[in-house]
Structure formats: C-alpha cells, structure tokens
Amino acid sequence: MAPDTRPGPRPDPRPDAAGSTRRVEGSAWLGGTHRHARVAGGGQVHADLVLWAWLGRLTGNLSPAALGMAWFDWACHLMMSPDKQHELATDAVLGWQRWLQYLATPADDAVDPVRPLAQDKRFVDPAWNASPWRQLSQGFLLSQQWWHRATSTVRGVAPHHADVVTFVARQMLDCVAPSNFVTTNPVVQRAVLASGGMNLVNGAMRAWRDAQGLLAGKPRVVNYRPGREVAVTPGKVVMQNRLIELLRYDPVGPAVHEVPLLIVPAWIMKFYILDLSPHNSLVRYLVERGHTVYMVSWKNPQADDRDLTMDDYRQLGVTAALDAIVAQTGASKINAAGYCLGGTLLAIAAAAMARDHDRRLASMSLLAAQVDFTEPGELSLFIDDSQVSFLEAAMWQQGYLDTRQMAGAFQLLRSNDLIWSRRLRHYLLDLPEQESDLMSWNADATRMPYRMHAEYLHRLFLRNSLASSRYLAGGRPVSLSDIDVPICAVGTLTDHVAPWRSVYKIIPLTDTEITFILTSGGHNAGVVSPPGSANRSYQVAVHRHDDPYIDPDRWLARVPQLEGSWWPAWDQWLVRHAGKYVPPPAPIPDTAPAPGDYVLQQ
C-alpha cells in the first residue's frame, strides 16, 4: 500500500484575496487544540453554542428564530393586504360551496373538485372512490389547495420565508391527512377486517421496536452489505490516507484506454451508490468498456476529525488521488467525474488546477452536481443564516453532523413517501419492509465534519462564493471560467437535491465545450440508470464555448428526447477523451481488496 499522503501546513482560511482579515464565512469553529469557539471579533460564544445545541435536541435542529421570522414576515404582509384577505376569504367560501355540492352529487355523476398531484399516492386505491371516503379525501385536498395559496402568494413576503411557511403548512396538513388514521382510511379498515385486527397488533409491535432502536441510537440494519451483496466489482485499495481510500478496479480485458478515470463521489453518503449490484453498477459498466476506473472511498468522520476543512477534502481527496494515479500509471492526463457534492469539490479542484497551470485533467464530468447555489432545490428550506448557525451549534458539540440529523431533513422534504406512507404500510397495514440495494445504501449514511460542513454551508449555499469567483482554494480565489477542459454535465429531471436547472448553470459560468445530458429520474435513481431499465429516457446536446446561451426551458423544448439509459452516451463521450488502448497498469503488491475498510465504518 502506498504511504500516507498528507497536505502541507493548512492555510488560514480567513484572509481574503487581498490579504485582509475577515470573518470565516460566518462560521464559528474550534481551532487547533483550544476547546472554545471562536467567531469574528475574537469573542467566545461557548454558552451560546451550548444553549443552541440543547435547543436543537428539542426542535430537531430546526431554528425557532428562522421559523418565527418566516411566520412573522408572512403574517405581517397578510395583515397589510386587505385585497389578499378578501381573496382568501372568497376562495374559502367557494371551496366550501364546491365541497358541499360534491357531497350532494351522486357518486356516478360527481366530478372531483381537486385532482391530487402526480406524486401524491395516498388516495389511489379504488376504496377511496366510495362514500364517504371520496368526500373526506376531496375535503382534505381542497384544504391543502387553499393553504398553498394562502402561504405562497402573499405580496411582499421574502421568497425564502414564503417557501418555509408553505412547507410548514404542508407538514401540518400531512399530519392530519385522512389516510393516516384507521377511522378515516378505508384501505386500513379493509385490512383490519381481513386480518381480524392483527395488522394493528403487529404494526404496534413493529413501531415499538423501531422506537426502541431510535432511542438507543442503533443504526438501521443494512441488508445489502458492501463487499458481499453490493460494491462487489473486483479491485484493490491502492492508496490510503487519513481521509480516503483510493480503489482501482481490475481490468476485464487485455487492454484499456490509456487515460484513466477518477470518480469522486459525495462524502455525505458512501461511494457504492455507483457500484451497487452487478446489474446496476456504473463502475462495472465502465470497467467492462475498457476504462481504468479509480474510485475515492471517503472515511466516515469521527469527533476528532472536527477540524477537517473543505480544502483538506480537496487536497487529501482529489489532489492526493490524482497524484497516486499519475505515480501508478504514468498517465499524463486523467478523466475525472464527480457525483453530487463530489462534483462540486471536483469543480473547485479543477478551477484551482487551471489557476495553477496544472494540466493533468483531460476532461471533467459532473453528475447531478451544482456549482451555483442560488437555486439549490428544496434543501434551501433548511439553509439560511439563522438555521445554519443553529446547526453549527449541534455540530460544534458533537464534532460532526450526525447521520440522523441529515436523514431527518431529507425525510421532511419527502414526508409523504418517507414518513407517512411508511407509517401506513408498516404500522397500519402490516406490510413487509421493501428492500433494494438502493434503499439499503440510502440507510447507510455517513457523518460530516464540523468545520468542513460549516464552510460548505456558508461559502457555497449562503455566499455562493464559487459561482462569484470568491471561493478560496489554498488561500487564493478560484474561478470556474479558468476551466478549459471539456465538460459533461448530467442533470436528472425530478432531482430535489440538485435541480437540473441549477446543474445547467455550469454552462454560463465556464468558457469551454459542455455536453449537457438531462435524464429521467431523480437524484439517485436518475444516475443509477443502467441500459435495459424500463421507462428511461434522456436528452443530450453540445454547447460550444462560442455558442450563444440558451436558457434551460428552451433547451428542454428544443433538444429531442431519446429512449433508454444515458450511460452509453456518456461512455461514448468519455471514449473521445480516453486515448488509445494500452496494456493495463501493473498490479500493486500487498494491497487490500476493494471495497476497503473505510466504507465499512459506522
């Protein structure tokens, strides 16, 4: 195994490009060995952080101040808008009239006043078409529609506050949906009659076991285990340092492309999203097509990793991996791909390399990765200065962002699918747990170091420093416009983590040839889209550096849709930058097998 690779002395992240001193992107952090927090101005805020961390345990790490400001902004503007009040009162009366008329109309002649959204599956069972269940569901949907108008269309409310109030209103309504209760759900009542009530008994026992496991802090059982059922593509650990293990996958033929491929996954989850089961492993797919694939496997941080920075991730992750690949293969050029947050880090590294005249990259691929965070998707509901400061307190106390804290945010964003539907299936209907390799991977979460995550939230989400050429890498600013290697950017159509229109912003921010691929599916399932998958499609077009800009909506309307997986299109693009065929790199003796040790850390 190659020796440990560590960066040199860490630059102070506080000086800006001009050398003056400024606050650390708004973050409070523990520096060196001192066990007290430092913020701009040098003041200590130990008591503040202790109090906020305690409050966070009571509120699920949601800032009461952020929620209060959002509600106050909405309520004040609504009180100052008599026309809006009149409009909402009129809508309420008309809604009641529509519902009462619907009650009085025979079932065969009734037309539903409201149709659920396509993703809302709560009332799809035919049992909901009978009385009185159809009236209950329509009354709920009419209330949901009214509250959406009331919270999202008040003049003068800050867009972020309007989104937060709308989100909170939706969560509160979802709590009282008729699908959640035995007395108002005909599907549950049918199951009670069929099982003699045992579905409720078994569901209650399952809920008790789940609650005990949650209170005890026990991780959810993962049935697809790395190295056994998933992450089984043969390979070796060819380099290790305190932050990554670098995996190299074994070639399957006598020759490979001379330009190796480095994949940088997000460290918010484990790398094997790209190496799931053999039939849907992107790594296996690429290896079988003659690519020498290297994969970064991130360490799951502990409390003593609290001071790892974003620049540590760049140096110990991307830079250290590139150094090792060059040393092992002798390649002068490397293709690099980054997924999600790993793609953002890769873009930062590529901009720093271009700034420093490091020409080792042959191309860069960004898979569902953002570089501009002005429209970062639904996660922005949990990200403002108040909320981030509140979250920092929890991270300061623990040294990291816990997996359960991240999981809670994602579950709230998709509460119908991940909270209420699961409660209905497992606790009321007593249906067996649905398992798949992707769902099992989703439960195998990781932690985020305190200082790194604080920098990430402040510099990227809150300040959007990368898109505005103010992001510091190695103590100096980087600009995406310096990147001159070909780029392939992949967005997924229904992505709620990295919306495709946000991913598309790489085009106006760089001055190089960009191939943009838009594929069906969401953030994970859209990327994990092997050939042969049903109901898959994609669009692809090339934007040359001197082409006029086309906005994403016109791009969507103009570019033809192609059936099937986007993987072959990306492989064809990679091949154009992968060089001729050469013998595979020599094996490295005395190396551990993939997937290594870091992926197994809990």
The Cα-based distances of 408 to 32, 361, 412, 456 in angstroms read: 31, 38, 6, 19
Q: Which of 76, 175, 340, 488 is an active site residue?
A: 340
Residue 297: which residues within 8 A CB-CB, separation 6 or more? Answer: 244, 245, 246, 247, 270, 271, 595, 596, 598, 599
Catalytic residue at 175?
no
Peptide bond preceding 64: is omega within 30 degrees of 0, i.e. cis?
Answer: no
- In sequence order, what are the beta bridge partners of 244? 298
Q: Is the pLDDT of residue 379 over 90?
A: no
Looking at domain 235-374+464-600, its CATH architecture is 3-Layer(aba) Sandwich (3.40)
The Cα-based distances of 517 to 118, 436, 498, 513 in angstroms read: 24, 26, 14, 13
Q: Is the pLDDT of residue 482 over 80?
A: yes
390 near 52, Cβ under 8 Å? yes
Concatenated DSSP letters of 35-96: -S-B-TTS---HHHHHHHHHHHHHHTT--HHHHHHHHHHHHHHHHT-HHHHHHHHHHHHHHH
- Give the pLDDT band (50/70/90) at residue 9: very low
163 near 380, Cβ under 8 Å? yes
Q: Is the pLDDT of residue 58 over 80?
A: no
Q: What is the mean pLDDT of residues 425-435?
A: 85
C-alpha to C-alpha distance for 293 and 296, rounded to whole angstroms: 10
- Mean pLDDT lowest for which of 204-218, 458-472, 566-580? 204-218
**Structure tokens that stand for 505 in this block:** 């912003």
Render the burial of 42-77: b for 16+ CB within 10 Å, e for the rest: eeebeebbeebbebbeeeebbbebbbebbeebbeeb
Q: Determine what percent of the chain is predicted with pLDDT higher than 70.
A: 88
324: Cα within 13 Å, side-chain hemisphere: 29
The pLDDT assigned to 54 comes to 78
- Give the pLDDT band (50/70/90) at residue 418: low
Peptide bond preceding 568: is omega within 30 degrees of 0, i.e. cis?
Answer: no
Burial of 129 (0-12, 13-18, 19+ CB in 10 A): middle
**Structure tokens that stand for 340 in this block:** 């999600």
Residue given tokens 């809920």 in the structure block: 207
Smallest Cα–Cα separation from 346: which of 327, 370, 330, 326? 370
Q: What is the mean pLDDT of residues 536-548?
A: 95
- In sequence order, what are the beta bridge partners of 361? 334
Strands 361-367 and 487-492: parallel
The Cα-based distances of 208 to 202, 213, 420, 425 in angstroms read: 10, 9, 16, 15
Domains of the chain, by residue range, sit at 51-189, 235-374+464-600
The pLDDT assigned to 363 comes to 98
Cβ neighbour number for residue 89 with a 10 Å cutoff: 10
Q: What is the pLDDT of residues 328-362, one digit of tens each?
A: 999 999 999 999 999 999 999 999 999 999 999 99
Q: Is the pLDDT of residue 222 over 70?
A: no
C-alpha to C-alpha distance for 570 and 590, rounded to whole angstroms: 34
The pLDDT assigned to 414 comes to 65
CA dihedral 555, 560, 561, 566 (to 10 degrees): -80
Q: What is the mean pLDDT of residues 444-458?
A: 91
Smallest Cα–Cα separation from 461: which of 391, 375, 368, 351? 375
Render the burial of 393-425: b for 16+ CB within 10 Å, e for the rest: bbbbbebbbbbebbebbbebbebbeebbbbebe
103-107 long-range contacts (CB < 8 A, ≥24 apart) are 103/135, 107/131, 107/134
**Bigger pLDDT: 407 or 522?**
522
Q: What is the mean pLDDT of residues 229-257?
A: 96
The pLDDT assigned to 398 comes to 82
DSSP count for the chain of H helices, then E strands: 21, 16
Q: 3-state DSSP call for residue 262?
A: strand
481 near 469, Cβ under 8 Å? yes
523 near 497, Cβ under 8 Å? yes
502 near 534, Cβ under 8 Å? no
**Structure tokens that stand for 390 in this block:** 């509140």
Average pLDDT of the chain to the nearest whole number: 87
- Give the pLDDT band (50/70/90) at residue 1: very low
Instruction: Output Rg (C-alpha) for the chain, integer angstroms.
Output: 26
The Cα-based distances of 394 to 54, 215, 444, 510, 520 in angstroms read: 8, 18, 21, 37, 37
Q: 3-state DSSP call for residue 525?
A: coil
Q: 3-state DSSP call for residue 367?
A: strand
First to last CA, the chain: 23
The Cα-based distances of 489 to 339, 440, 504, 510, 536 in angstroms read: 10, 27, 8, 12, 18
Smallest Cα–Cα separation from 187: which of 488, 558, 195? 195
The pLDDT assigned to 148 comes to 94
